[in-house]
Structure 1
Amino acid sequence: MTIAPDDAQQGASHQYRAMRDFVQSMDDTLPGKFEITKEGIVHDMVAPVKQHELTVLRLRKRLEQVMPEEIVAHTGEPDVEDAPEGIMRRPDVMVIAEADMEGEGTFDPRTLLAAVEIVSNSNPDNDWVSKVRDYPLVGVPIYAVFDPRTGTGAVLTDIHSTPDGPRYATRKDFVYGEDVTIGDWTISTENLPRYADKDRPKSDPKGNG
């Protein structure tokens, strides 16, 4: 059977709406975070919770100390959504103008100045692979990754076109203890918590993913 482009688009839209309804119904039911990617629904347990949440807190406070008052480092809801692309994410920290938070519904990813993620033990590929693909696809200009497993991270910028779609052209790696620049703002990575050896998966004793 041949599916016309309009029919295919309507089918994809219906599938996305079904996934979106499921994710919203699960948000307060199960622990962790549900997101929608180009590959389907991802469930990230976001564990260990203490180190993850402390990293989020310290990064938020450090960013807001150096940013102008009208720019915030927002944590929590709502999601960042691009329905035509079939992507709905919830970054750990969203750098965004306070004015762009007004109104109803989800955030337009193109209003974000940067997305910051803290890698979890439960699903590191979600941060290091899937989001590296999804964020440039929906127009997030800067993506910063902090990995408490290894005490390292990266800042990805400069979206450009490739045969596989928009991708980040520039990646700057860092290690905990160095200053890191995200957009126009430079912050310290001193005293960011690391996951303890006992928290790392047994198949990943060195925390290398």
Structure 2
Amino acid sequence: MTIAPDDAQQSASHLYRTMRGFVQSMDDTLPGKFEITREGIVHDMMSPGGPHEVTAAHISRRLEKVMPDELLAHNGTPDVEDEPEGIMRHPDVMVIAWTDLDTEASVDPRSVIAAIEVVSRSNPDNDWVGKMRDYPLIGIPVFAVFDPRTGTGAVLTDIHSTPDGPRYATRKDFVYGEDVTIGEWTISTENLPRYRSR
């Protein structure tokens, strides 16, 4: 059977809407967070509180001290969604203008100035692989990763075209204790918590 391009696009759109409905129905039912990637649904079993949430709160607060008042380092809802690409993600922190956050739907990823992720102990590949692939695809210009497992991180910028789709061209690695620049703003990474050994 041959599927015409329009049929394939409608089928992909239907599949995405089905996954989105499932994710919305599960959000308040199961712990962790659900996101949609090109490969399907990702369920990150992050535990509330602890180093993950404390790191996100520190990053948000430190950024807001150096950013202009019209911007926010937001670590709540809503999701960032690009339905044509079939991607719905939920950054741990997103730098966005207050006016662009004022929506009852998901946030347009092209309005996000920077997305920041704190690596989950349960699913580190979601941040280091999946989001590193998805965020340039949906047009987020700056992606910062903080990894409490290792006390390291990276800031990725400069989206460029590759045979596998848009990717970040520039990666600046850092270790906890150094200052890190995210977009136009530099913050300290001193005293960020680490995951304890199990």
TM-score class normalised by the smaller sequence: over 0.9
The alpha carbon displacement at 1:46 in A equals 1.4
Matches within 5 A, 1:123-142: 123-142=123-142
Query: SS of the residue aligned with 1:56?
Result: helix
Question: Which residue number corresponds to residue 177 of structure 2?
Answer: 177
For residues 120 and 133 of structure 2, the distance between their equivalents in structure 1, rounded to whole angstroms, comes to 18
Q: Does 2:166 correspond to 1:163?
A: no
Question: Which residue number corresponds to residue 22 of structure 1?
Answer: 22
Q: Does 2:154 correspond to 1:151?
A: no
Q: Does 2:37 correspond to 1:37?
A: yes
Contact residue 152 and residue 175 of structure 1 kept, 8 A: yes
Per-residue Cα deviation, 1:60-93 (whole angstroms, up to 9, x for no partner):
1000000000010011111000000000000000
For residues 71 and 8 of structure 1, the distance between their equivalents in structure 2, rounded to whole angstroms, comes to 39
Query: SS of the residue aligned with 1:24?
Result: helix
Matches within 5 A, 1:93-104: 93-104=93-104
Unmatched 5+ stretches in structure 1:
199-209
For residues 153 and 64 of structure 1, the distance between their equivalents in structure 2, rounded to whole angstroms, comes to 20
Query: SS of the residue aligned with 1:110?
Result: helix
Query: Among the aligned pairs, what percent are the same residue?
Result: 75
The alpha carbon displacement at 1:49 in A equals 3.5
Moved over 4 A (4+): none
Give the aligned length. Answer: 198
Contact residue 157 and residue 170 of structure 1 kept, 8 A: yes
Question: Which residue number corresponds to residue 57 of structure 1?
Answer: 57
TM-score, structure 2 length as denominator?
0.99
The alpha carbon displacement at 1:47 in A equals 3.4
The alpha carbon displacement at 1:159 in A equals 0.2
For residues 76 and 103 of structure 2, the distance between their equivalents in structure 1, rounded to whole angstroms, comes to 16
Letter of the 2:110 counterpart: R
Unmatched 5+ stretches in structure 2:
none
Letter of the 1:130 counterpart: G
Q: Does 2:85 correspond to 1:85?
A: yes
For residues 48 and 80 of structure 2, the distance between their equivalents in structure 1, rounded to whole angstroms, comes to 24
TM-score, structure 1 length as denominator?
0.93
Contact residue 13 and residue 86 of structure 1 kept, 8 A: yes
Question: Which residue number corresponds to residue 192 of structure 2?
Answer: 192
The alpha carbon displacement at 1:48 in A equals 6.9
The alpha carbon displacement at 1:101 in A equals 1.1
CA RMSD of aligned residues (A): 0.8
Contact residue 109 and residue 138 of structure 1 kept, 8 A: yes
